Copies of this chain bind each other. A is one copy, B any other.
Amino acid sequence: MIIITESTATEEQIAQIVAQVREFGLEAQVSREGARVIVGVVGPEPMIREKPLAAMPGVEAIVPAAKPYKLAARDTRRAASTVEICGLSIGGNSAVALICGPCSVEGREQMLNIARMLKESGASMLRGGAFKPRTSPYSFQGLREEGLRFLAEARNETGLPVITEVMDARDLPVVERYADCLQIGARNMQNFSLLREVGRSHLPVLLKRGFGATVNELILSAEYILNEGNTNLLLCERGIRTFEAGTRYTLDLSAVPILKAKTHLPVVVDPTHAVGLREFIPQMALASIAAGADAIMLEVHDSPEHAKSDGEQALLPETLAKLVPRMRAVANAIGRDL
């Protein structure tokens, strides 16, 4: 860590900064650059990180010693990680995966029907919500364990592995019983208790970026999961809140190459929730692949006007069927399969 003082810092302020560093049991190396003093701080990092030296009078800037994350950092592993989910590989040089399904599991027939159509269209994984985080307490909250059972049945019939959201640590055992991959939703990206719990699960985890969270905060939330020992982790960009009201959120596709450069983790893009308007989702799915996404997550519903949630943004199965070869062409254009 390097502390740079203001050009107007007094000698007394500088002495206090140095004294403070030493009080923490750390070493301080002082040098001068014109009107400013540079204090190099040497010592174990976690100790330094906690100390609010920035609060001291006379301090202008602090350049941290290292990135605040370690386990997620690209340089930790050098290469990209691959996550295996029931034989499906995501990340590295694997084919781009297609994670599709309805927003909510609404019934047995619906789930089986959609799953069969998705399998045929070329989807590689099945999504569907059984525990639903809804903005309003009066909205449909999901079929819970019954929904999980329908998902598992669809998996058993089609062979597609199943991903579903877990919202509460107390639901984890039941979700683990049925699912092949756990999803942490955007609203729980900084539910640190829950992150720790799924960090101890034997199942892979897909962590969605909060719509008010920065890329760095997403990585730090990933660090909570990795730190508990679960390294089967996927990161997911799904749109952030901005002033643009023409789309539901703003899909921040730049996050894809940035996450892939900063971390070794596979990156998934969910254009459905970001855009929120059915007609513009195919273009953004193509763009996500071109930007380097390792998997695309799409809401698909066979009867959107009957959907219990998010009907206005679900693709029809026939739209997906036509989109898949176009996605494959773009994937091939950048040297990947799909």
Q: In the complex, what residues of B have CB within 8 A of residue A7's CB?
A: 66
Which single member of B36, B40, B135, B329 contacts A33 (CB below 8 Å)?
B40
Q: For residue A33, which residue of chain B has the nearest CB?
A: B40
B257 lies within 8 A of A283 (CB): yes
Interface residue ranges, A against B (CB under 8 Å)? 2, 4, 7, 20, 29, 31, 33-34, 36, 38, 40, 42, 46, 49-50, 52-56, 60-61, 63, 65-66, 68-69, 133-140, 167-170, 187-188, 190-194, 210-217, 220-221, 223-224, 227, 240-247, 250-258, 261, 274-275, 278-280, 283-284, 286-292, 304-312, 314, 326, 329-330, 332-334
| Contact assessment for B307 and A55 in the assembled complex, using a CB-CB cutoff below 8 Å | yes
Cα–Cα, bound, A251→B240 (Å): 12
For the complex, what is the distance from the CA of A220 to the CA of B134, rounded to whole Å?
A: 10
Chain B residues with CB under 8 A of A139: 49-50
Question: Closest CB of chain B to A171's CB: distance in Å?
Answer: 8
Contact A52 B312 (CB under 8 A): yes
Q: Is the CB of A258 within 8 A of B246?
A: yes
Known: A251-B253, A251-B254. Is A217-B326 also a contact (CB below 8 A)?
Answer: no
Taking a contact as CB atoms closer than 8 A, the residue among B4, B170, B213, B304 that contacts A63 in the complex is B4
Residue picked from A53, A139, A330, most chain B C-beta under 10 Å: A330
Quick check: A220 and B50 within 8 Å, CB to CB? no
Determine the chain B residues whose CB is within 8 A of the CB of A314 once the complex forms: 55
Given contacts A2-B33, A304-B55, contact A250 B247 (CB under 8 A): no
A212, B213: Cβ atoms closer than 8 Å: yes
- With both beta carbons as reference points, the residue of chain B lying nearest to A217 in the complex is identified as B135
Q: Find out whether the CB atom of A257 lies under 8 angstroms from the CB atom of B243.
A: no
Q: Is the CB of A50 within 8 A of B308?
A: yes
A73 to chain B, nearest CB (A): 12
CB atoms of B254 and A137 under 8 A apart: no
Chain B minimum-CB-distance residue to A4: B63
Residue picked from A46, A136, A137, A187, most chain B C-beta under 10 Å: A137
Bound complex: CA of A42 vs CA of B33, how far in Å?
A: 9
Q: Which of A69, A134, A252, A256 counts the most chain B CB atoms within 10 A?
A: A252
Closest to A195 in B: B137
Which residue in B138, B167, B241, B247 is a CB contact (below 8 Å) of A258? B247
Which one of B38, B140, B250, B286 lies within 8 Å of A254 (CB-CB)? B250
Asked if A193 and B167 make an inter-chain contact with CB atoms under 8 angstroms apart, the answer reads yes
* 13 other A-B residue contacts (CB within 8 Å) besides A187-B190, A240-B250: A31-B33, A31-B38, A50-B140, A52-B309, A133-B192, A168-B193, A211-B212, A243-B243, A257-B279, A257-B284, A286-B334, A290-B290, A330-B334
